[in-house]
A = this chain, B = another copy of it.
Amino acid sequence: MSAPSSEAQPRIDDLPALDVEARSARVRAFLETQGLDALAVTTLTNVRWLTGFTGSNGAALITDAELVLITDGRYADQAPTELEAAGVGADVLVMTDPVGGILEAAATCTRLGLEADNISWADQRRLAEQAGALELVPTTDALVALRATKDSGELARIRAAAAITDATLASVRPMLAESPTERDIAFALDQGLRLRGATSPAYETIVASGPNGALPHGRPSERRVQEADLIVIDVGAVVDGYRSDMTRTFVVGEPTAAQQRQLDVVLEAQRAGVATVKAGVDAKTVDAACRDVITDAGWADAFTHGTGHGVGLDIHERPRVNSRTSDVLEAGMVVTVEPGVYLPGIGGVRWEDLLSVTDAGAEVLTTSAKQPVVENTAP
């Protein structure tokens, strides 16, 4: 039940601390620009980001002077402990109904922002019924935008998650030659991530072989990997709440000329995208760099999704990296670059790396080799 002793497991205590306390100031600056005197935070990952609280139920209220965490009795002990560990000076209100807690904590406020995308219509109606003179103001993506740039503690966790994934994929790679099912491979990956210290996979691990690979998000099936299959493996880990994301494509035995071209074109597209990543660059430029290569190869319609996305406490967060985004890359952002070409009835190729954006360019956090050929050792 223990991890291979030769591989370092991340110990959270050894990672640089998260600077949770500094985040309140960033939110307060946002409040001031919006003319709000409080924000009710009802998105759980935003609550975690702002307070350090990791429970499964909680809301926060932040004003110019105060930060209050509202959670239920299950977390009466855990919540103050976690807030203290995070260096956050916040009050904890223990109550089953966050609506009551929000109103109590916002008693002296006049304009209260709500996270409109993550508070239910029912809760908004209940707040409105009891709000009296308190004005409820919809806000969109406020904390999500602030979360896009990571501090050094966050980067260290994402880097650790990427390193665990690299080591795990390397250990599972040889089994591809042994005719496993997609599900066998996914199982081995998930097991390997945990053995190396991940809390869990960062999302449902994708293993899509042969024609199944034509679906970008295929679920691992009982299909057995066969010689000459393209095999798309999309896998990441969670370390202390932070996620990694990576895709590699494999083929058992020698690829056909058509497969080799598909592998090469997507690799060229991916490299072109990675080369554009730098603080100050429009995120849509990254998408265009990938898409141009694939379009030139005649596969414009076979690249059916955006080029990437931010990664952090959520597996999909800001910035967006696609053809329609107005997001601009900033130092400290963490983004994927993951073009793919999906051919119905044939299969898929995707290459995905996770990058930390810097002023000089980018640090590639996922370092697994892009060597698709797995020697066929089957008898």
Contacts and interface: CB of A to CB of B under 8 A. Distances in A.
Interface of A: 1-2, 56, 73-74, 77-78, 114, 116-125, 138, 140, 175, 180-181, 184, 187-188, 190-191, 194-195, 215-217, 304-305
B117 A120 contact: yes
A345 to B, nearest CB: 12
Contacts of A121: 114, 116-117, 119-121, 123-124, 138
Nearest to A191: B191
20 contacts: A1-B175, A1-B180, A1-B181, A73-B304, A74-B216, A74-B217, A74-B305, A117-B120, A117-B122, A118-B120, A120-B120, A120-B121, A121-B121, A121-B123, A121-B124, A121-B138, A122-B140, A125-B138, A190-B194, A191-B191
Nearest to A78: B215
A138 B129 CA distance: 14
The 10 A-B pairs with the shortest beta carbon distances in the complex, nearest first, are A116-B122, A1-B184, A121-B124, A117-B122, A116-B121, A117-B120, A119-B121, A121-B121, A74-B217, A187-B194
A190 B117 CA distance: 33
B116 A138 contact: no
Nearest to A203: B56
Given A1-B175, A78-B215, A119-B120, 9 more contacts: A56-B217, A74-B216, A74-B305, A77-B215, A117-B121, A121-B121, A122-B140, A187-B195, A191-B191
Contacts of A184: 1-2
A277 B7 CA distance: 52
B125 A120 contact: no
Contact of A120 (B2, B56, B78, B116): B116
Contacts of A119: 120-121
A341 to B, nearest CB: 16
Nearest to A175: B1
A125 to B, nearest CB: 7
A268 B194 CA distance: 38
A140 B194 CA distance: 39
A118 B124 CA distance: 12
Contacts of A124: 121, 124
Contact of A116 (B125, B187, B190, B304): B125
Contacts of A195: 187
A369 to B, nearest CB: 24
Contacts of A116: 120-122, 125
Contacts of A180: 1
